[in-house]
Amino acid sequence: MSQRPSVPHSSSIAFSLHSHLLVSSEMNPNSNWRHSIHHCWVHHAPSRPHQGPDAAPGRDPRPQPNPNGAVQAVRPAYAAVHTTAARRVSIPLPSPPPPAARAGPISVGVRIIQQEGVAAMFSGVSATMLRQTLYSTTRMGLYDILKQKWTDPTTHNMPLPSKITAGLIAGAIGAAVGNPADVAMVRMQADGRLPVAERRNYKSVVDAIARMGKQEGVTSLWRGSSLTINRAMLVTASQLASYDQIKETILGNGLMRDGLGTHVTASFAAGFVASVASNPVDVIKTRIMNMKVEAGAEPPYSGALDCALKTVRSEGPLALYKGFVPTISRQGPFTVVLFVTLEQVRKLLKDF
Give domain limits for the chain: 116-351
Angle between helices 160-190 and 225-252 (to 10 degrees): 130
CATH number for the domain whose boundaries are 116-351: 1.50.40.10
- The pLDDT of residue 21 is 41
- The pLDDT of residue 72 is 52
- The pLDDT of residue 14 is 44
Measure the CA–CA gap between 55 and 311, rounded to whole angstroms.
84
Q: Is the dihedral of CA 26, 29, 35, 38 positive or negative?
A: positive
Please answer whether residues 277 and 235 qualify as being in contact, where contact means their C-beta atoms are separated by less than 8 angstroms.
Answer: yes
Query: In a 10 Å sphere around its CB, with 0-12 CB exposed, 13-18 middle and 19+ buried, how is residue 144 labelled?
Result: middle
Phi-psi region of 217 (alpha: psi -120 to 50; beta: other; left: phi over 0): left
DSSP 53: T
Structure pTM?
0.56
Question: What's the one-letter identity of residue 78?
Answer: Y
- The pLDDT of residue 10 is 45
- The pLDDT of residue 20 is 45
- The pLDDT of residue 292 is 74
Half-sphere exposure of 254 toward its Cβ, with a 13 Å CA cutoff?
Answer: 0
pLDDT by 10-residue block (mean), the chain, 352 residues: 48 44 44 48 48 52 53 48 46 52 68 74 76 88 91 85 93 92 83 74 84 86 82 90 92 88 92 90 83 76 85 90 88 90 85 62
Q: Is the dihedral of CA 173, 225, 338, 278 positive or negative?
A: positive
